[in-house]
Structure 1
Amino acid sequence: MFRKQPLLVSTVLLKSTEKLLHSFSRRNVSKRNYLSRMYLLPPSKLRDTGLTSKSQNLFLHNEILFPCHNGAFYYLPLGLRALEKLTRLIDEELQSIGAQKISMPTMVTAALWKKTGRWGTDELFKLKDRHLTEYCLGPTHEELVTSLVAQFERLSYKRFPLMLYQITRKFRDEMQPKFGLLRGREFEMKDLYTFDLDEETARETYSLVCDTYHTIFHRLQLNYMKVEGATGNIGGKMSHEYHLPASIGEDSLFICDKCGFGSNIELIDEQNQSEDVACPQCQSAMKIQTGIEVGHAFLLGTKYSEVLNAKVTNKEGKRITTEMGCYGLGVSRILQAGVEVLHDGESIRWPRLIAPYQVAILPQKSQDSGPFLKLSDELYDRLCSLPSLRHDVVIDDRVDRTIGWRKNQLNRQGFPYIIVVGKKCQEDPAQYELIDTYSGTTDFLSLDQLIDTLSMLHTL
């Protein structure tokens, strides 16, 4: 009787262990990314909306975006992943120069906008609460952030320059939304606000942020143009715009090929707006170029800090008004504009760093796809053990579709690398077909060669 008891306990333990292992295995499988489980909407569900840009067409017909209402879109899983990667990249660069991320309310009281004289702006979405208090949906947050800084009367001068930023949804009552994310009524924007003790240090901060913008576009491998811009209703002492050159760009720019100087056409005297405009720096002839504006920098001076009483006590013990700067990046606009300038005609070409997934594994379709799916799962787990690819691999397990159809679809959606797990993977030694969709090259590699190649990728 006492001899049988340990055997009974062992049996119970064994069954319990098997159950735990089975549960763990199921959890591991559920962690893998399979396209068959992703919420994607086929292009057949789209209405013909008179698409006017190639990138908008590619986004809507390749399960990146889906239209909601005029000027607003659903981000589908692939589109949101790309947006989140772009956000991480911007976070990395801004925080490397000491900028601190905050979040401010979407609704802004009319009282603040009236103080700065901007309540009459045509593009504001305005609303009232049940107490008839007026608000607007923030298209930008100069008033709100300056009011925040003004609350801290004992803020030490040693904390300056103070750099506060957010990446949030903004709203603009566009009269004619078009080009998808390039001109919408809701958009993701990074807005950074800087506070300095004097104009000299404010200009140093301005240069620092502009250099950071250069780094961001360089990491995205996007050719951009920095030009002098108008201050507009935001105001300030100095302004620069960042544009991606594109035929659908709505801004006309004068660019000097010799010295690199650029200016928005708004700053050129109307009588001189011709092909014969001379560069103010080197006197060479400038050419006209159209661009998509993706960023803007303003040296604001004290326009907002004076009105809203954002002051600080300097080292001499004197209360002074802070010098401000504001810096915007159209995050959702960069997302689409990058594809507008990089696409190859029929396929999305993301800036590589922000592609939704870097690698798509494509198992062979056959009468028995089980072995190819198993090999794909094993390859997925091996690739995800690489630090650079931990969250950047997906399996296209839709084996009811031909391999040609799926390969074409993955190419159109802009997956940088496709690995075909086909019959050559069952040979000895196994050979994996690696397709670089951006360069159009194909290589057959052993597993070790494949791992070595993909371990070199730079990812976010």
Structure 2
Amino acid sequence: MNKASRLFCPALITPKNAVVKQTEQLSRSQKLLTELGLVKSGSNGTYQIMPMAQRSVDKFVDLVQSNMQLAGGQKITLPILTPTNLWKKTGRLDGDISEFYMVRDRSNKQFLMSPVNPRGGSDCHAGHHITISYRQLPLRLYQIGPKFRDELKTRFGLMRAKEFLMKDMYSFDVSNERAGETYAIVSAAYDRLFKQLDVPFVKVNAATGMMGGSVSHEYHYISPVGEDTLLQCSSCGFAGNSEVLDAKPESPVSCPSCKGSDLKEVRGVEVAHTFVLGDKYSKPLGATFLNTSGKPQSLVMGCYGIGITRVIAAALEVLSSEQELHWPCLLAPYDVCLIGPKQGSKEQPAAELIENELLLKVGELCGHQELLHDDRKELTIGKRLLEAKRLGHPLTIIVGAKAAHQDSPQLEVHLSKGEILELDINEALKLVAEHSQHKKNLLNCSFLQDKEENRSQSVGQQH
């Protein structure tokens, strides 16, 4: 059982009247994660993730992996250190490499600490000792691991750090047509993943940029701290990156979807990016397969990235208030926080009987690993409740004085959005069961499809 008294959560305590010098710009999510001890700043642009936040990271990794596997992905691990000769072959080192970390070994050989790894993905197929038949394609290989970028100005904590956790997938197909089919399948998995998180997002046409290729889309969370400028249509909801739409003040663009002119600028945090790369990397690296004639032919590639730690921070930025974290339902570190009576209070003996019953029954409903028992009974209920609300637990159940009433014991239940309920034991357990069912619905996306259908019907009726 998870006990708050054993949880390593080194909250940041600032003495009264202390002058705090800010070395970087803070976002709402960064401020809360740091103050509450979920994330600690390491060196400039690096962060230590504490146990409670690590639970959220692990949950998101599991969710990403399940969706990648549904899309036919196979998990691999590629080296973080990649020889610079791989990058030279594709011409990538000829451009701006100021964000790359370059290191040398004791033999003075130069390596690059990968910011993303399509070259490594291509290289795992290159070389004379590996022969791939067209029968083995398509291949969709993904990894989850740290990436590095020497950001000139780190901003907003995990949203723009020098070291971050990323999922990158590389697909290999026999032709552009088949690569397009793979792109549709993986894109559908991305759409499903972001719907499961149930945080408002937009998918936009994007420039291929330094990665190159023929097709590209970005996934954004709309937030004032976003670094991308998007144009969003108020009529149909379409959104596009301003770089692609080429908007100019003297000649405003119309919506490519509905042709309306009501486009407004919003700021977006890019959390995922997909590309069709063609043979940009496979050709120079010699990554080939044997076609139906038995002759070598260049593989056609795709690349698909998700910023694991960035998604979590950006989602918190969108959902949270200034004082309290609010998590995507599937990523909350714990589903339920149970707070028992204060040590030495007159209601303690009777209330603890209810508390022990709830520890068993709530754990059975939501899973014992999803229950956090705040057993720090030397602290008042009010102090523990304040912390629980700031941490953003979806459900916080208080077993206090009203639970000690023999005739009709009442529990105080706090929901993450601020609602407070007084419920009997069975009603509280029903609420826990409903929350668990809501998580299952998110995982199978059934209720999301219903919401979309209802929204579409509503829009159709309005027009």
Q: TM-score range by the shorter chain?
A: 0.7 to 0.9
Give the TM-score taking structure 2 as reference length.
0.87
Listed as ranges, the matches of 1:21-36 within 5 Å are 32-36=1-5
**1:67 pairs with 2:36:** no
Kindly report structure 1 stretches of 4+ aligned residues shifted beyond 4 Å: 45-48, 368-375
Match of 1:95 among 50, 69, 81: 69
In structure 2, the residue matched to 1:203 is: 180
Q: Distance in 2 between matches of 1:273 and 1:377?
A: 65
User: Between the two proteins, what is the percent identity of the paired residues?
Assistant: 35
Q: Distance in 1 between matches of 2:320 and 2:202?
A: 19
Listed as ranges, the matches of 1:248-287 within 5 Å are 248-269=225-246, 272-273=248-249, 276-285=252-261, 286-287=263-264
In structure 2, the residue matched to 1:43 is: 12
**1:399 pairs with 2:368:** no
CA contact (8 A) 1:253 1:264 kept: yes
Deviation at residue 45 of structure 1 after TM alignment? 5.8
CA 1:432/1:261 → structure 2, altered by over 3 Å: closer, same or farther?
A: closer
Higher alpha-carbon deviation: 428-437 or 159-168 = 428-437
Q: Distance in 2 between matches of 1:268 and 1:450?
A: 51
**1:353 pairs with 2:330:** yes
Q: Distance in 2 between matches of 1:269 and 1:439?
A: 42
Instruction: Give CA-to-partner distance per residue, 1:94-153, whole Å, 9 cap, x none.
Output: 111211111111111111111112235111111101011111111111111111122564
**1:435 pairs with 2:414:** yes
Q: Distance in 1 between matches of 2:220 and 2:316?
A: 14
Q: Distance in 1 between matches of 2:136 and 2:93?
A: 32
CA 1:344/1:234 → structure 2, altered by over 3 Å: closer, same or farther?
A: same
Deviation at residue 193 of structure 1 after TM alignment? 0.7
**1:154 pairs with 2:128:** no
Listed as ranges, the matches of 1:413-424 within 5 Å are 413-424=391-402
In structure 1, the residue matched to 2:207 is: 230
Deviation at residue 442 of structure 1 after TM alignment? 1.2
Match of 1:444 among 406, 419, 423: 423
In structure 2, the residue matched to 1:20 is: none
CA contact (8 A) 2:70 2:189 kept: no
Instruction: Give CA-to-partner distance per residue, 1:398-421, whole Å, 9 cap, x none.
Output: 222211111111111111101111
Deviation at residue 455 of structure 1 after TM alignment? 2.4
Deviation at residue 362 of structure 1 after TM alignment? 0.2
Listed as ranges, the matches of 1:9-28 within 5 Å are none
User: What are structure 2's unaligned runs of at least 5 residues?
Assistant: 444-463
CA contact (8 A) 1:254 1:264 kept: yes
Tell me, what secondary structure is at the counterpart of 1:43?
coil
Q: Distance in 2 between matches of 1:440 and 1:219?
A: 23
CA contact (8 A) 1:275 1:288 kept: no
CA contact (8 A) 1:36 1:397 kept: yes
Tell me, what secondary structure is at the counterpart of 1:324?
strand
Greater Rg by CA: 1
Q: Distance in 2 between matches of 1:311 and 1:374?
A: 68
Tell me, what secondary structure is at the counterpart of 2:272?
strand
In structure 2, the residue matched to 1:11 is: none
Q: Distance in 2 between matches of 1:418 and 1:65?
A: 22
CA contact (8 A) 2:80 2:114 kept: yes
Q: Distance in 2 between matches of 1:280 and 1:392?
A: 45
CA contact (8 A) 1:296 1:328 kept: yes
Listed as ranges, the matches of 1:143-182 within 5 Å are 143-151=119-127, 153-182=130-159
CA contact (8 A) 2:410 2:422 kept: no
Deviation at residue 281 of structure 1 after TM alignment? 4.3
User: What are structure 1's unaligned runs of at least 5 residues?
Assistant: 1-31
Q: Distance in 1 between matches of 2:21 and 2:5?
A: 26
CA contact (8 A) 1:380 1:394 kept: no
CA 1:375/1:231 → structure 2, altered by over 3 Å: closer, same or farther?
A: same
